[in-house]
Amino acid sequence: MLFTIGDYLAGMLVGAATALGVRIVIWPGMDMVIAMLVGMGLGMAVHIVLGLVLGPAIGMFEAMIPASLIGMYGGMFFAMRDSMAAGSRTLAAALAVGAVFGAIVVAGVHFYDQTLRGAVVDTGE
Amino acid sequence: MDTATQKKWDAASRNFDFISWGDDQRLGPHKRRLFSKMNGATFMLAAGTGNDFRFFPPGHSVIAIDISAKMLERAAKKAAEYEGKIELRQMDVCRLEFGDNTFDTIVTVCTFCSVPKPVAGLRELYRVLKPGGQILMFEHVRSRIGPLGVFLDLMTPLSRRVGPDLNRDTVGNVLKAGFRIRREENVYLDIVKIIEGVKP
Protein backbone atom coordinates (compact mmCIF):
# COMPACT_ATOMS: atom_id res chain seq x y z
CA MET A 1 0.00 0.00 0.00
CA LEU A 2 2.79 2.44 0.92
CA PHE A 3 4.58 1.67 -2.33
CA THR A 4 1.38 2.34 -4.28
CA ILE A 5 1.03 5.73 -2.60
CA GLY A 6 4.71 6.31 -3.36
CA ASP A 7 4.14 5.49 -7.03
CA TYR A 8 1.38 8.11 -7.26
CA LEU A 9 3.38 10.76 -5.39
CA ALA A 10 6.39 10.10 -7.60
CA GLY A 11 4.26 10.36 -10.75
CA MET A 12 2.70 13.61 -9.55
CA LEU A 13 6.14 15.02 -8.75
CA VAL A 14 7.52 14.11 -12.19
CA GLY A 15 4.41 15.57 -13.86
CA ALA A 16 4.61 18.83 -11.91
CA ALA A 17 8.37 19.14 -12.47
CA THR A 18 7.93 18.57 -16.20
CA ALA A 19 5.16 21.17 -16.34
CA LEU A 20 7.38 23.62 -14.45
CA GLY A 21 10.33 23.08 -16.78
CA VAL A 22 8.14 23.50 -19.85
CA ARG A 23 6.52 26.66 -18.44
CA ILE A 24 9.99 28.18 -17.91
CA VAL A 25 11.39 27.28 -21.33
CA ILE A 26 8.43 27.52 -23.74
CA TRP A 27 6.89 30.90 -24.51
CA PRO A 28 3.50 31.68 -26.08
CA GLY A 29 3.82 31.95 -29.84
CA MET A 30 6.81 29.59 -30.10
CA ASP A 31 6.65 27.28 -33.11
CA MET A 32 4.56 24.37 -31.86
CA VAL A 33 6.64 21.62 -33.43
CA ILE A 34 9.85 23.01 -31.96
CA ALA A 35 8.09 23.52 -28.63
CA MET A 36 6.89 19.91 -28.55
CA LEU A 37 10.36 18.56 -29.36
CA VAL A 38 11.93 20.76 -26.70
CA GLY A 39 9.22 19.74 -24.22
CA MET A 40 9.82 16.06 -24.93
CA GLY A 41 13.58 16.45 -24.42
CA LEU A 42 13.04 18.39 -21.24
CA GLY A 43 10.56 15.83 -19.93
CA MET A 44 13.01 13.01 -20.66
CA ALA A 45 15.75 14.85 -18.75
CA VAL A 46 13.40 15.46 -15.80
CA HIS A 47 12.37 11.80 -15.75
CA ILE A 48 15.96 10.53 -15.76
CA VAL A 49 16.97 12.77 -12.86
CA LEU A 50 13.86 12.21 -10.75
CA GLY A 51 13.63 8.53 -11.68
CA LEU A 52 17.15 7.92 -10.40
CA VAL A 53 16.42 9.87 -7.21
CA LEU A 54 13.12 8.09 -6.52
CA GLY A 55 14.17 4.63 -7.76
CA PRO A 56 15.96 3.49 -4.59
CA ALA A 57 12.83 4.24 -2.55
CA ILE A 58 10.07 2.76 -4.73
CA GLY A 59 11.97 0.44 -7.10
CA MET A 60 13.89 1.35 -10.24
CA PHE A 61 11.42 0.07 -12.80
CA GLU A 62 8.38 1.26 -10.86
CA ALA A 63 9.94 4.73 -10.80
CA MET A 64 11.48 4.91 -14.27
CA ILE A 65 8.76 3.41 -16.47
CA PRO A 66 5.85 5.70 -15.49
CA ALA A 67 8.27 8.65 -15.27
CA SER A 68 9.43 8.04 -18.84
CA LEU A 69 5.86 8.18 -20.13
CA ILE A 70 5.03 11.25 -18.04
CA GLY A 71 8.20 13.03 -19.13
CA MET A 72 7.97 12.16 -22.81
CA TYR A 73 4.26 12.64 -23.44
CA GLY A 74 3.67 15.23 -20.70
CA GLY A 75 6.56 17.29 -22.00
CA MET A 76 5.02 17.32 -25.48
CA PHE A 77 1.47 18.06 -24.29
CA PHE A 78 2.49 20.82 -21.88
CA ALA A 79 4.73 22.41 -24.52
CA MET A 80 1.89 22.34 -27.06
CA ARG A 81 -0.38 24.05 -24.55
CA ASP A 82 2.15 26.66 -23.49
CA SER A 83 3.18 27.53 -27.06
CA MET A 84 -0.50 28.23 -27.81
CA ALA A 85 -1.10 29.92 -24.41
CA ALA A 86 -4.15 27.68 -24.26
CA GLY A 87 -5.15 27.30 -20.60
CA SER A 88 -3.39 26.99 -17.22
CA ARG A 89 -2.80 30.73 -17.02
CA THR A 90 -1.03 30.61 -13.66
CA LEU A 91 2.03 28.57 -12.73
CA ALA A 92 0.02 26.90 -9.95
CA ALA A 93 -2.58 25.76 -12.47
CA ALA A 94 0.13 24.39 -14.78
CA LEU A 95 1.73 22.46 -11.90
CA ALA A 96 -1.65 21.07 -10.83
CA VAL A 97 -2.36 19.85 -14.37
CA GLY A 98 1.11 18.29 -14.44
CA ALA A 99 0.46 16.48 -11.16
CA VAL A 100 -2.94 15.23 -12.36
CA PHE A 101 -1.40 14.03 -15.63
CA GLY A 102 1.29 12.18 -13.65
CA ALA A 103 -1.27 10.48 -11.43
CA ILE A 104 -3.36 9.40 -14.44
CA VAL A 105 -0.31 7.89 -16.16
CA VAL A 106 0.62 5.99 -12.97
CA ALA A 107 -2.96 4.66 -12.74
CA GLY A 108 -2.74 3.55 -16.38
CA VAL A 109 0.57 1.76 -15.80
CA HIS A 110 -0.85 0.04 -12.70
CA PHE A 111 -3.87 -1.11 -14.68
CA TYR A 112 -1.70 -2.38 -17.54
CA ASP A 113 0.58 -4.12 -15.06
CA GLN A 114 -2.36 -5.96 -13.50
CA THR A 115 -3.50 -7.01 -16.97
CA LEU A 116 -0.09 -8.37 -17.97
CA ARG A 117 0.91 -9.92 -14.64
CA GLY A 118 0.96 -13.70 -14.33
CA ALA A 119 2.01 -16.76 -16.29
CA VAL A 120 2.74 -16.37 -19.99
CA VAL A 121 3.93 -19.95 -20.39
CA ASP A 122 3.16 -22.71 -17.91
CA THR A 123 3.71 -26.33 -18.86
CA GLY A 124 2.38 -27.45 -15.48
CA GLU A 125 5.52 -29.45 -14.62
CA MET B 1 38.44 -12.87 -16.65
CA ASP B 2 36.53 -9.99 -18.30
CA THR B 3 38.28 -7.10 -16.52
CA ALA B 4 36.05 -4.34 -17.96
CA THR B 5 32.93 -6.00 -16.55
CA GLN B 6 34.75 -6.73 -13.31
CA LYS B 7 35.75 -3.05 -12.85
CA LYS B 8 32.22 -1.84 -13.65
CA TRP B 9 30.66 -4.04 -10.97
CA ASP B 10 33.44 -3.34 -8.47
CA ALA B 11 32.49 0.32 -8.81
CA ALA B 12 28.76 -0.42 -8.64
CA SER B 13 29.18 -2.43 -5.42
CA ARG B 14 29.64 0.76 -3.36
CA ASN B 15 26.03 1.93 -3.76
CA PHE B 16 24.39 -1.33 -4.80
CA ASP B 17 22.46 -1.99 -1.58
CA PHE B 18 21.16 1.59 -1.43
CA ILE B 19 20.04 1.63 -5.06
CA SER B 20 18.34 -1.76 -4.90
CA TRP B 21 16.49 -1.22 -1.58
CA GLY B 22 13.10 -0.50 -3.17
CA ASP B 23 13.42 -3.38 -5.64
CA ASP B 24 14.33 -5.78 -2.84
CA GLN B 25 11.27 -4.76 -0.81
CA ARG B 26 8.83 -4.95 -3.71
CA LEU B 27 10.19 -7.93 -5.59
CA GLY B 28 11.42 -9.97 -2.62
CA PRO B 29 8.21 -12.02 -2.20
CA HIS B 30 8.35 -13.07 -5.88
CA LYS B 31 11.98 -14.14 -5.49
CA ARG B 32 11.14 -16.11 -2.33
CA ARG B 33 8.36 -17.91 -4.23
CA LEU B 34 10.74 -18.74 -7.10
CA PHE B 35 13.57 -19.92 -4.87
CA SER B 36 11.22 -22.23 -2.95
CA LYS B 37 11.66 -24.53 -5.98
CA MET B 38 15.41 -24.94 -5.37
CA ASN B 39 16.52 -28.52 -4.90
CA GLY B 40 19.75 -30.52 -4.81
CA ALA B 41 23.17 -29.06 -5.53
CA THR B 42 22.50 -25.38 -6.24
CA PHE B 43 24.58 -22.83 -8.10
CA MET B 44 23.89 -19.10 -7.96
CA LEU B 45 25.29 -16.89 -10.66
CA ALA B 46 26.13 -13.24 -9.94
CA ALA B 47 25.61 -13.18 -6.19
CA GLY B 48 26.17 -9.42 -6.07
CA THR B 49 26.26 -8.12 -2.50
CA GLY B 50 24.25 -11.14 -1.34
CA ASN B 51 20.93 -9.32 -1.03
CA ASP B 52 19.04 -12.31 -2.40
CA PHE B 53 20.43 -14.89 0.03
CA ARG B 54 17.67 -13.97 2.49
CA PHE B 55 15.07 -15.21 -0.01
CA PHE B 56 16.59 -18.70 -0.21
CA PRO B 57 14.75 -21.40 1.73
CA PRO B 58 16.87 -22.52 4.72
CA GLY B 59 19.01 -25.62 4.74
CA HIS B 60 20.43 -25.56 1.22
CA SER B 61 24.02 -25.88 0.11
CA VAL B 62 24.77 -23.24 -2.50
CA ILE B 63 27.85 -22.26 -4.48
CA ALA B 64 27.51 -18.58 -5.44
CA ILE B 65 29.84 -16.78 -7.82
CA ASP B 66 30.38 -13.21 -8.97
CA ILE B 67 32.87 -11.62 -11.33
CA SER B 68 33.44 -8.75 -8.88
CA ALA B 69 35.68 -9.26 -5.84
CA LYS B 70 34.19 -6.12 -4.23
CA MET B 71 30.68 -7.52 -4.54
CA LEU B 72 31.79 -10.79 -2.95
CA GLU B 73 33.44 -8.93 -0.05
CA ARG B 74 30.06 -7.40 0.76
CA ALA B 75 28.25 -10.69 0.19
CA ALA B 76 30.38 -12.59 2.71
CA LYS B 77 28.55 -11.25 5.79
CA LYS B 78 25.13 -12.08 4.34
CA ALA B 79 26.34 -15.56 3.34
CA ALA B 80 27.41 -16.17 6.95
CA GLU B 81 23.91 -15.21 8.17
CA TYR B 82 22.18 -17.75 5.89
CA GLU B 83 20.73 -20.80 7.66
CA GLY B 84 22.50 -23.25 5.39
CA LYS B 85 25.78 -23.18 3.51
CA ILE B 86 26.80 -20.63 0.90
CA GLU B 87 30.28 -20.88 -0.62
CA LEU B 88 31.39 -17.72 -2.45
CA ARG B 89 33.82 -17.83 -5.37
CA GLN B 90 35.05 -15.25 -7.89
CA MET B 91 34.44 -16.53 -11.40
CA ASP B 92 33.36 -15.49 -14.90
CA VAL B 93 30.17 -17.17 -16.12
CA CYS B 94 31.72 -17.74 -19.52
CA ARG B 95 34.56 -19.78 -17.94
CA LEU B 96 33.04 -21.82 -15.14
CA GLU B 97 35.48 -24.00 -13.19
CA PHE B 98 33.01 -26.88 -12.78
CA GLY B 99 32.66 -30.16 -14.62
CA ASP B 100 29.77 -31.05 -16.92
CA ASN B 101 26.46 -32.02 -15.26
CA THR B 102 27.41 -30.78 -11.77
CA PHE B 103 24.31 -28.96 -10.47
CA ASP B 104 20.62 -29.78 -9.98
CA THR B 105 19.49 -26.14 -9.77
CA ILE B 106 20.90 -22.89 -11.12
CA VAL B 107 19.63 -19.54 -9.81
CA THR B 108 20.09 -16.13 -11.43
CA VAL B 109 18.78 -12.71 -10.37
CA CYS B 110 19.06 -9.78 -12.78
CA THR B 111 22.18 -11.30 -14.27
CA PHE B 112 21.69 -11.76 -18.00
CA CYS B 113 21.08 -8.04 -18.42
CA SER B 114 24.76 -7.63 -17.60
CA VAL B 115 26.66 -10.61 -19.00
CA PRO B 116 28.38 -9.24 -22.15
CA LYS B 117 27.87 -12.50 -24.09
CA PRO B 118 24.56 -13.79 -22.71
CA VAL B 119 24.10 -16.81 -24.98
CA ALA B 120 27.68 -17.97 -24.33
CA GLY B 121 27.06 -17.59 -20.59
CA LEU B 122 23.80 -19.50 -20.75
CA ARG B 123 25.47 -22.29 -22.77
CA GLU B 124 28.08 -22.56 -20.02
CA LEU B 125 25.25 -22.88 -17.46
CA TYR B 126 23.65 -25.53 -19.66
CA ARG B 127 26.93 -27.45 -19.60
CA VAL B 128 27.23 -27.54 -15.80
CA LEU B 129 23.54 -28.36 -15.22
CA LYS B 130 22.58 -32.00 -14.91
CA PRO B 131 20.12 -33.39 -17.49
CA GLY B 132 16.65 -32.79 -16.06
CA GLY B 133 18.06 -29.99 -13.88
CA GLN B 134 16.36 -26.61 -13.62
CA ILE B 135 17.38 -23.00 -14.07
CA LEU B 136 15.37 -20.47 -12.02
CA MET B 137 15.76 -16.94 -13.34
CA PHE B 138 14.50 -13.59 -12.08
CA GLU B 139 15.39 -11.18 -14.85
CA HIS B 140 14.38 -7.95 -16.53
CA VAL B 141 14.05 -7.92 -20.30
CA ARG B 142 13.09 -5.64 -23.21
CA SER B 143 9.38 -4.85 -23.25
CA ARG B 144 7.34 -5.84 -26.29
CA ILE B 145 5.03 -2.87 -25.64
CA GLY B 146 5.92 -0.37 -28.41
CA PRO B 147 6.84 2.86 -26.57
CA LEU B 148 8.28 1.06 -23.54
CA GLY B 149 10.49 -1.11 -25.74
CA VAL B 150 11.77 2.00 -27.56
CA PHE B 151 12.35 3.75 -24.23
CA LEU B 152 14.40 0.81 -22.96
CA ASP B 153 16.40 0.82 -26.22
CA LEU B 154 17.10 4.54 -25.80
CA MET B 155 18.13 4.19 -22.15
CA THR B 156 20.46 1.21 -22.67
CA PRO B 157 23.52 3.17 -23.93
CA LEU B 158 23.34 5.19 -20.70
CA SER B 159 22.54 2.35 -18.30
CA ARG B 160 25.24 0.13 -19.80
CA ARG B 161 27.95 2.56 -18.64
CA VAL B 162 27.22 2.00 -14.97
CA GLY B 163 25.19 -1.21 -14.85
CA PRO B 164 22.90 -3.41 -16.92
CA ASP B 165 21.47 -3.39 -20.44
CA LEU B 166 17.72 -2.78 -20.38
CA ASN B 167 16.76 -4.33 -23.70
CA ARG B 168 17.87 -7.94 -23.61
CA ASP B 169 15.76 -10.78 -25.06
CA THR B 170 16.62 -13.16 -22.23
CA VAL B 171 13.77 -15.59 -22.91
CA GLY B 172 15.01 -15.95 -26.50
CA ASN B 173 18.59 -16.36 -25.26
CA VAL B 174 17.54 -19.12 -22.85
CA LEU B 175 15.98 -21.00 -25.76
CA LYS B 176 19.05 -20.39 -27.95
CA ALA B 177 21.25 -21.94 -25.25
CA GLY B 178 19.24 -25.17 -25.47
CA PHE B 179 16.97 -24.95 -22.42
CA ARG B 180 13.26 -25.74 -22.57
CA ILE B 181 11.00 -23.13 -20.96
CA ARG B 182 8.91 -24.69 -18.18
CA ARG B 183 7.32 -21.47 -16.99
CA GLU B 184 7.49 -17.79 -17.90
CA GLU B 185 5.73 -15.26 -15.69
CA ASN B 186 5.37 -11.48 -15.84
CA VAL B 187 6.13 -9.85 -12.48
CA TYR B 188 6.09 -6.16 -13.52
CA LEU B 189 4.51 -5.31 -16.87
CA ASP B 190 6.30 -7.59 -19.37
CA ILE B 191 9.70 -6.28 -18.22
CA VAL B 192 10.47 -8.07 -14.94
CA LYS B 193 10.02 -11.81 -15.39
CA ILE B 194 10.37 -15.16 -13.75
CA ILE B 195 11.80 -17.65 -16.25
CA GLU B 196 12.05 -21.32 -15.36
CA GLY B 197 13.99 -23.52 -17.76
CA VAL B 198 14.86 -27.18 -17.85
CA LYS B 199 17.80 -28.97 -19.43
CA PRO B 200 16.21 -31.77 -21.48
In a domain, A115, yes or no: no
Choice between B85 and B146, residue whose per-residue pLDDT is larger: B85
CB contact under 8 A, A55 and B189: no
Q: Which residues on chain A are in Cβ contact (under 8 Å) with B189? A: 61, 65, 109, 112-113, 116
Look up the ipTM and state it: 0.85
Domain that holds residue A45: 2-107
Handedness of CA B10, B165, B17, B128 (dihedral sign): negative
Q: H or E stretch including B187?
A: strand B180-188
Residues A59-68: tens digit of each pLDDT: 999 999 999 9
Q: Band the pLDDT of A47: cuts 50, 70, 90.
A: very high
Cα–Cα nearest to A15, from A77, A108, A62: A77
Verify whether the Cβ–Cβ distance B190 to A59 is below 8 Å.
no
* Shortest CA distance from A58: residue in chain B: B22
pLDDT of A45 > 80? The answer is yes
Q: How far is B185 from chain A (nearest CA, A)?
A: 4
Helical packing angle, A32-58 and A75-84, nearest 10°: 140
Per-residue pLDDT of B127-167, as tens digits, reads: 999 999 999 999 999 999 888 898 899 889 988 887 788 89
The answer to the question of residue A112 being in a domain is no
Task: Examine the pLDDT at B1 and tell me if it is beyond 80.
Answer: no
Beta-carbon separation of A125 and B26 below 8 A: no
Structural domain total, chain B: 1
Q: How many domains does chain A have?
A: 1
Residues of B in contact with A48 (CB under 8 A): 158
Query: What does each C-alpha distance from A82 to A15, A40, A75, A76 come to in angstroms?
Result: 15, 13, 10, 10
Domain contains A124: no
- In the three-class reduction of DSSP (H, G, I as helix; E, B as strand; rest coil), residue B109 is classed as strand
Supply the pLDDT for residue B147: 85
Question: pTM of the entire structure?
Answer: 0.90
pLDDT tens digits for B13-55?
A: 888 889 889 999 999 999 999 999 999 999 999 999 999 999 9
Instruction: State the residue range of the domain holding B172.
Output: 3-198
CATH number at residue B100: 3.40.50.150
